Structure 1
Amino acid sequence: MENRQGKGLSFARRIYRPRIIGAAMCSIGVTAALYPLAMPGWVWALLLVNGFVWPHLAYQLATRAKVPYDAEQRNLMYDALFSGFWAATLQFTPLITVTLLSMVSMNNVAAGGKHLLLRGALAQLLGVGVAGLLFGVHLNPSVNMAQVYACLPMLTLYPMAIGMVCYQLAIKLSEHKRALSALSRIDSLTGLLNHGSWKDLLQLKYHECQQQRSSATIALIDIDHFKQINDTHGHIVGDAVLRQLSLELRRNLRQNDLAGRYGGDEFCVILPQMRLEEAARIMEGLRETFSNYRAPHIPELRVSLSIGLADFQPSFTDAAMWLNAADRALYAAKHTGRNRVNVSDTRVAQFA
C-alpha cells in the first residue's frame, strides 16, 4: 500500500503541471467557439472553473486521497467527461472538437495506455450525453479564423508539456535501471561484488594483463572454521563476521581494487598493477587486523583468515587458470595450519 501511495503521489505531481497548461489552453479554444453562441452565464462560470480552478482542485483531491493513484485515475475521467461536454456544447465545431478530444485522449494514452483510453472515451460519450440533454444535439461545421488562432496555443504548448513529462519520466526510468543494474552486481549482505560480477571483471582484467603485459594479483580469502562459528554462535554472529571482513577489505584496499564475495565464507580480490610480493604484504596486514576482531558480547570468539594469492602469468591460457592458481594457494594455506597467507609462486615462502 505504501509503495502504491508513493507511486500515486508521483503520478499526481507529473500530471499537475500539464493539466494546468492544458486546461487553460483548452479554455481559450472553447471561449472562441462559445462566443458566437447564446449560452447562459452558468456555462461561462463552469468554463472558468474547469479551466483555472479544476487543475488545482484535482491535485488536492489526488494528494489527499488514501490511494492517490486511484484518485488521479478518477480525475482523468473527469477531464474526459469535461472534454465530451464542451465538444457537444460547442455544437461539435470541427477544429475545437477534434483538438479538445484528441488532446485529452493523448493524455489518457500517456497516463494509462489502451485501458485508460477506452475508459476515457466512455467518459467523453457521457459528457456528450449530458450536454445533449441540456442543449440538444447540434452540428456547426463552420470554422473561423478566431477559432484557428485560439487553437494554436493548445496545439503547441500542451504537447510540449506532455513531451517534457515523458522526457523527465524517461530520465528517471534510466536512473532506476542503472541503480537496479548496480544492485544486481552487489552482494546484499556485504555490499561487495557478487560472485558473477567479480568473475566477469576477472575476465576483463585477464585480457587487459594479456594485451598490455601489465601485472596484477588475485587473492582468495577464506574465513577459518566459519561453519563452526555459525553452528556455535548463530547466523547473526556469522553475518556480523562477514560484514566485518568486507569492512576491513574496504579499509585496506585501494580504490581501484575489486573485492567480491565468492561464496558463503570466501572472498575474492583483484589487485591491478600489483606484484605478488606487495599483495602478500597487504594481505598479511589484513590477516593480522582481522584476527583482532572481537564480537560484542562474545569475548571468546576468535576469527582468522586463510588467503591464497596468484599473480598473472603470461603462460595462463585463460582466466580460469589464474583463478585455479589462487585456489591451489588457498588450499595449501588451509591444509598447512590455516591463519596464513600462501602464494602460488614458490619463490615466496609462507607468511605465518
Structure 2
Amino acid sequence: MPHHDGEQNGRGLSFAKRIYLPRTIGLSVGSVCVAVALYPLPWMHWIWAMLVMHAWVWPHLAYQRARRSSNPYKAELQNMLGDSFAGGIWVALMGFSALPSVAILAMMAMQNIAANGLRLLWQGLLANLLGAVLGFVLFTPQIQLASTPEEIYACLPLLVIYPAFIGWMGYKVALKLSEHKHVLSRLSRTDSLTGLINHGTWKDLLQVEFTRSQTLNRACCVALIDIDHFKTINDRYGHIVGDSVLKALSQALRDNIRASDLAGRYGGDELCVILPNTDLDLAVGILERLRQIVENQVDALLPELRISLSIGVAPYEQHIVDAASWLNEADKALYGAKSTGRNRVVSAPCTRADFQGLALGV
C-alpha cells in the first residue's frame, strides 16, 4: 500500500506541475481582459488588489497547495474548480460583458476538458455559474452585455496565446505518450535477460520471412544456436555465471550479424537467427565466424571456462510448406551438429538418421 500511495502521489505531482504553467499564463493574460472591462466601472481598490492576487499570486499558491497535499491530484482538481468559481465571479463583476466573459469561460473550459475530460468540464461550468450568481448577488453590478473596442482588443491576446499554448502542451503530452508506447512495445518484444527478440515475436517474424521468401522466391536462412554443455556450466559455476554466458553470447551475436538479421532467444540456452536475402554459403560463413569468435573468447575471471556452440542452419527451399517445417529443418541440422561432436555449424537438408549414422561411423 505505501508503494501504491507513493506512485499515486507521484502522478498527482506530475499533474499539478502540468497545470501550473497553463494556469500562470492563462490568469496573467486573462487578467488584462478583466482589468480593461473593470476600468470604467466604479469599483473600490480592494477589487483591484483581489485581481492582482488572483492573477499573479494564486497560481503559485495553488501549486504549493497541491504539492504539499497528501493527495496532490485531488487537491489540483479542487484548485481548478476554484479557478472556475473565481472566473464566474469576475464575469459578474464585469457586468457580463459579452466578449471578455465568453473568452474567459471558454479558456477555462478548454483547460478543464484538457485536464480531466467531460466530467471536469461540467463541474467547471457549474462552478462558473455558482460564482457568477454569487458575484451578482454580493456586488449587484450594472449589466452591460455590449463589449467596448478596448475590451475586444484586450481579449485578442488571450484568444490567440492561450489556445496555442494549450495546443503545444497537448502536443508535448502526445509525444511523451508516443515515446512510452514505443518503449512498451519494444519491451513486449524483447527477452529481458538477453535483450534479443523474445520467442513469440521471433516466431511471428519467421512467419513473415517465410511468406516473403515464398512469395518472392528469394534466398533466406534460419539458424538455431545451442551452447554446448550449458547445463554443466550452470551446475558447476551457478546460474549467475550461466546467465552472464547467455548475455555475452547474445552480445557477440548482435555484434557479428548484420543489421537486417533478426536474432532472438528461442528458449533456455538456444538462440535463433533469421538471415534474410542470404544464401546458404553466406549464412554458414556468418555463423562459422560467430562460432570461432565465441570459442576464442576468454573470461579474465574464469579463464578455465570455455564456450562452444553447436549451430544448425536451414535455407528456404520451395518444397518447404510452412514456417514450422522450415524451423524443423534447422532443428534437424542442430541435432546433427550435436550428435557429430558439437562445436560446429551444420546445414540442412539432412535427416536425423544421417547424423546417427555418422556418429556411429557408418
Task: Establish whether TM, by shorter chain, passes 0.5.
Answer: yes
2:44 counterpart of 1:33: no
**Paired position in structure 2 for 1:240:** 244
Q: Does 1:140 align with 2:143?
A: yes
Distance 2:97 2:68 in 1: 37
The alignment partner of 1:262 has SS state of: strand
How far residue 292 of structure 1 moved from its aligned partner, in angstroms, is 4.2
Alignment of 1:188-203 (within 5 A): 188-203=192-207
Q: 1:241: Cα distance to partner?
A: 1.3
1:87 corresponds to? 91
Q: What is the one-letter code of the residue matched to 1:189?
A: L
TM, length-normalised to structure 1? 0.84
- Of 220, 243, 264, 1:260 maps to 264
Whether contact under 8 Å (1:93, 1:141) holds in the other structure is: yes
SS at match of 1:140: coil
Residues 308, 331 of structure 1: 8 Å contact kept: yes
Q: Which one is further off, 249-258 or 113-122?
A: 113-122
Q: Distance in 2 between matches of 1:266 and 1:139?
A: 83
Q: Per-residue deviation at 1:220?
A: 0.4
Query: Do the aligned partners of residues 217 and 49 (structure 1) sit closer, same or farther apart at CA in structure 2, a change above 3 Å counting?
Result: same
The corresponding residue for 1:280 is 284
Quick one: which amino acid aligns to residue 46 of structure 2? Answer: W
Match of 1:187 in 2: 191
Distance 1:33 1:342, change over 3 A: same
Whole-angstrom CA distance in 1 between matches of 2:110 and 2:118: 11
Pairing 1:322–2:326 present = yes
Describe the shift of the 1:267–1:139 C-alpha distance in structure 2 as closer, same or farther (beyond 3 A).
farther
Superimposed CA distance per residue, residues 239-265 of structure 1 (whole angstroms, 9 cap, x where no aligned partner): 111101101101221222211111122
2:233 alignment partner in structure 1: 229
Aligned position for 1:97: 101
Q: CA deviation at 1:74?
A: 4.4
- Counterpart AA for 1:212: L
2-structure distance, mates of 1:139, 1:336: 100
Partner of 2:19: 15
Shift of 1:226: 2.6
Offset, 1:325: 0.8
The one-letter code sitting in structure 2 at the alignment partner of 1:30 is V
Match of 1:109 among 96, 110, 113: 113
Who is 1:150 aligned against?
A: 154
Displacement after TM superposition at 1:142 (Å):
2.8
CA, structure 1 residues 238+67, in 2 after alignment: closer, same or farther (shift >3 Å)? farther
Deviations along 1:170-198, whole A, 9 cap, x unmatched?
22222222222222211121111111222
Give 2:80's match in structure 1, choosing from 56, 69, 76. 76
CA distance in 2, matches of 1:335, 1:132: 93
Match for 1:171: what amino acid? L
Between 1:285-294 and 1:238-247, the stretch displaced more is 285-294
- Counterpart mapping for 1:291-310 below 5 A: 291-293=295-297, 298-310=302-314
In structure 1, list runs of 5 or more residues that go unmatched.
none
Decide whether the 8 Å contact of 2:329 with 2:349 is kept in 1. Answer: no
Is the CA contact 1:237–1:295 (under 8 Å) kept in the aligned structure 2? no
Residue deviations 1:211-242 (CA, integer Å, cap 9, x gap): 43332221101122333433443322221111
How far off is 1:153 after superposition? Answer: 3.2
Residues 22-61 of structure 1: CA distance to partner in whole angstroms, max 9, x if unpaired? 2133212212332232211111122123234444554566
Matched, 1:48 2:56: no
Q: Which is further off, 70-79 or 36-45? A: 70-79
Q: Specify which of 195, 209, 220 is matched with residue 216 of structure 1.
A: 220
| Structure 2 spans left out of the alignment, 5+ residues | 356-362
Partner of 2:359: none
Distance 1:112 1:296 in 2: 57
Cα shift readout 1:68-109 (whole Å, capped 9, x = no counterpart): 655544442332232122123334444433432332122111
- Return the alpha-carbon distance in structure 2 between the equivalents of residues 274 and 290 of structure 1: 22
Tell me the CA shift for residue 344 of structure 1. 0.8
Contact 2:194 2:246 in 1 (8 A): yes
Partner of 1:250: 254
What is the distance in 2 between the residues matched to 1:56 and 1:263? 55
Amino acid in the other structure paired with 1:100: I
Q: Percent identity of the aligned residues? A: 52
| 1:93–1:196 CA distance, 2 compared to 1 (3 A) | same
Q: Which runs of 4+ in 1 moved over 6 A?
A: 63-67
TM-score, with structure 2 as normaliser: 0.82
Once structures 1 and 2 are overlaid, which stretch shifts more, 95-104 or 246-255? 95-104
Deviation at 1:331, TM superposition (A): 1.8
Q: How many correspondences in the alignment?
A: 348
RMSD over aligned CA atoms reads 3.2
Cα distance in 2 for partners of 1:226, 1:208 equals 35
Task: Check conservation: 2:98, 2:147, Cα contact below 8 A.
Answer: no
